[in-house]
Structure 1
Amino acid sequence: MTWHDARAIGEALFDQFDTIDPLSVRFTDLHKHVLNLEGFTGKPNESNEKLLEAIQMAWYEEWKDEYGDK
């Protein structure tokens, strides 16, 4: 996985942090979570706000499917 694999990253983040509302996670923390995912090969400096937002929204979609709109 790299920074451009928002859907796969979102699914992996949901698997790891399924009870956390992704919209409550700051981008600095999201960046760290992504870097720590097993199978993630992207470089820390290759991310940007647009990519992090896409990842957060993919994670949110997974979370919303499980817990509904809150």
Structure 2
Amino acid sequence: MSLKWVDVLEIAIQLAESKPEVDPRYVNFVNLRSWVMELPDFSDDPARGGEKVLEAIQAAWIEEAD
């Protein structure tokens, strides 16, 4: 399976599993973007990961953590 920026929920789930020590409410977008691109299944154009997408991923990750 190949992850794209639009796979917000799946990205959030994988981040929650790979970074259980991180509180997603306090993650800055620079780190979030890097962590998404480091996910093993991620393969999309880095330029497509703008602020709106990162906000959606962060919101989904917060939901996943609660």
TM-score, normalised via structure 2 length: 0.92
Equivalent-residue separation in structure 2 for 1:20 and 1:29 (angstroms): 11
May I ask how many residue pairs the two structures share in their alignment?
A: 64
- Match for residue 16 of structure 2? 14
Matches of 2:13 and 2:38, distance apart in 1: 14
Alignment of 1:37-52 (within 5 A): 37-52=39-54
CA distance in 1, matches of 2:14, 2:55: 15
1:43 Cα deviation from its structure 2 partner: 1.5
Deviation (angstroms), 1:19: 2.3
Return the match for 1:26 from 25, 28, 32.
28
Q: CA deviation at 1:46?
A: 1.0
State the TM-score, normalized to the length of structure 1: 0.87
State the identity %.
38
Gaps of 5+ in 1: 65-70
Which residue, 57, 60, 65 being the options, matches 2:59?
Answer: 57
Which ranges in structure 2 are unaligned for 5 or more consecutive residues? Answer: none
Structure 2 residue aligned with 1:35: 37
Determine which structure has more spread, i.e. the larger CA radius of gyration: 1
Structure 1 runs of 4+ off > 3 angstroms? none
Instruction: State the 1:20 CA deviation.
Output: 1.1
Q: Distance in 2 between matches of 1:62 and 1:19?
A: 13
